């Protein structure tokens, strides 16, 4: 994975970790995750950068492993844009690919599941409802 200086929003780091258990703890407290499943955790690394403004937030996330994250219902809309690799997002019974050709929108007030393949990098725009 590239150095943090190459990461988008690198001036606004939330975490950069190499311990998958630490990711589970941080994701539940910081990201509203209820469950995280990881595969292929050799040489594990995860990074999140986030800038929050009054009505919006912009986040960059990357992981070296396959990851599935279940999120609680949130009070914001999430627009997910793939920068590298592929992911899917599921909410309200609809699953959407997130790749170089398609983004996904997760509505506010519904739980969601994000599944990313190893090496996936993404931007997420959070819009308050």
Give the number of other Cβ atoms within 10 Å of residue 91's Cβ: 19
**For 11, which DSSP code?**
T
Give the number of other Cβ atoms within 10 Å of residue 127's Cβ: 13
Alpha-carbon distance of 32 to 43, in angstroms, equals 25
Give the number of other Cβ atoms within 10 Å of residue 18's Cβ: 12
**For 9, which DSSP code?**
T
What does pLDDT average to over the chain?
91
The pLDDT tens digits of the residues spanning 75-108 come to 999 999 999 999 999 999 999 999 999 999 999 9
Question: What average pLDDT does range 19-36 have in this prediction?
Answer: 86
For the entire predicted model, the pTM comes to 0.86
């Amino acid at each position: 994975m590239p150095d943090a200086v190459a990461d988008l929003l690198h001036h606004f780091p939330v975490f950069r970790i190499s311990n998958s258990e630490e990711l589970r703890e941080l994701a539940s407290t910081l990201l509203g995750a209820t469950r995280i499943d990881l595969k292929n955790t050799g040489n594990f690394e995860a990074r999140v950068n986030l800038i929050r403004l009054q009505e919006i937030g912009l986040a960059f996330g990357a992981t070296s492993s396959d990851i599935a994250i279940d999120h609680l219902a949130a009070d914001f809309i999430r627009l997910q844009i793939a920068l590298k690799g592929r992911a899917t997002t599921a909410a309200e019974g609809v699953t959407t690919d997130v790749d170089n050709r398609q983004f996904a929108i997760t509505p506010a007030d519904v739980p969601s599941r994000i599944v990313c393949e190893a090496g996936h990098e993404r931007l997420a725009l959070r819009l308050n409802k």
